[in-house]
Amino acid sequence: MGSLFAGFLGSLTGLGGGVVIVPLLTLFFHVDIRYAIGAALVSVIATSSGAAAAYVKEGYSNIRVGMFLEIATTVGALAGAALALHLHVSVIAIIFGLALIYSAIASLREKDEVVHDRGPDRIATLLHMDSTYPTAKGLTAYHVRGVPLGFTMMFGAGVLSGLLGIGSGAVKVLAMDQAMKLPFKVSTTTSNFMIGVTAAASAGIYLSRGYIDPGIAMPVMLGVLGGSLIGARVLAGAKVKRLRLVFSVVIGFLALEMIYKGFAG
């Protein structure tokens, strides 16, 4: 039940399932954070693959950019999952709280479609990254920039994902939107597309380490899938801005609670 609620909440806030599921399971259902992270990773793959199937068809996501950056996120995710083995559970909880606060703030950012095309870039051209995306005026071409910076940020996003079991979509969008100057819609859909691959990289490790429990992952995965289906429909008619604000505040409190518990024991 709680997981259905979490999936619903996640899709409404646009924060993704992981950041809501882990605090919900640990704080309210008193599940060990390692089981919670394992279940969250699984649900992240489910929502990402489900949503990516829809987005990919529309032609927004840039597969080349996504694939190239996935080198960074998968290496990062493997490193993060390895790191999780050596860090104390309370340290992970504190890092999670901080990441939670960041994503709450990031979700409040204005999502304007700013055209910031600054012409072609040498590396991006070499990698055939420039592409087009559908807009009101038909297919519009865009140029990709800042590949090294974006690549580095993606490594960080991968580490966070592997360590905390989240999709770290906020960091991914930031890397593509701000550092690489991709159109916002392209950034979000490509990020969604990448999240599943990143999560799969660490999920394999979590599974073989015994962190993924069928009894917890089952309701979480089904709830998240169902919740995101309903959530997408509700979202179409809701006052998104006010909802986002409310949930961001709630998530901020969850984050503080997790940090507090992390320090307390």
Partner 1 sequence: MTSPAPTLQQDQRLNQIMAVLLRTGVLLAAGLVFVGGIIFLMRHPQPTTNYGVFHGEPEELRTISGIFREARQLHGRGLIQLGLLLLIATPVARVLFSVFAFLYERDWTYLAVTILVWSLLTYSLFFGG
- Contacting positions for partner 1 (CB under 8 A): 29-32, 34-35, 42, 45-46, 48-50, 52-54, 56-57, 59, 61, 63-64, 67-68, 70-71, 74-75, 78, 81, 126-128, 132, 139, 196-197, 199-219, 221-222, 225
What is the nearest approach in angstroms of partner 1 to the Cβ of residue 59? 6
CB 199 within 8 A of CB 46: no
Angle CA 36–27–107, to nearest 5 = 80
CB of 31 or CB of 170, closer to partner 1? 31
CB 234 within 8 A of CB 3: no
User: Dihedral of the CA atoms 225, 227, 232, 237 (nearest 10)?
Assistant: 170
What is the nearest approach in angstroms of partner 1 to the Cβ of residue 229? 11
What is the nearest approach in angstroms of partner 1 to the Cβ of residue 212? 6
CB of 128 or CB of 233, closer to partner 1? 128
What is the nearest approach in angstroms of partner 1 to the Cβ of residue 225? 6
- Sequence letter at residue 173: V
CB of 101 or CB of 203, closer to partner 1? 203
CB of 73 or CB of 187, closer to partner 1? 73
Angle CA 107–112–114, to nearest 5 = 130
120 strand-pairing partners:
none
> Which residue shows structure tokens 């006052």?
239
What is the nearest approach in angstroms of partner 1 to the Cβ of residue 254? 18
CB of 57 or CB of 118, closer to partner 1? 57
Handedness of CA 175, 8, 81, 251 (dihedral sign): positive
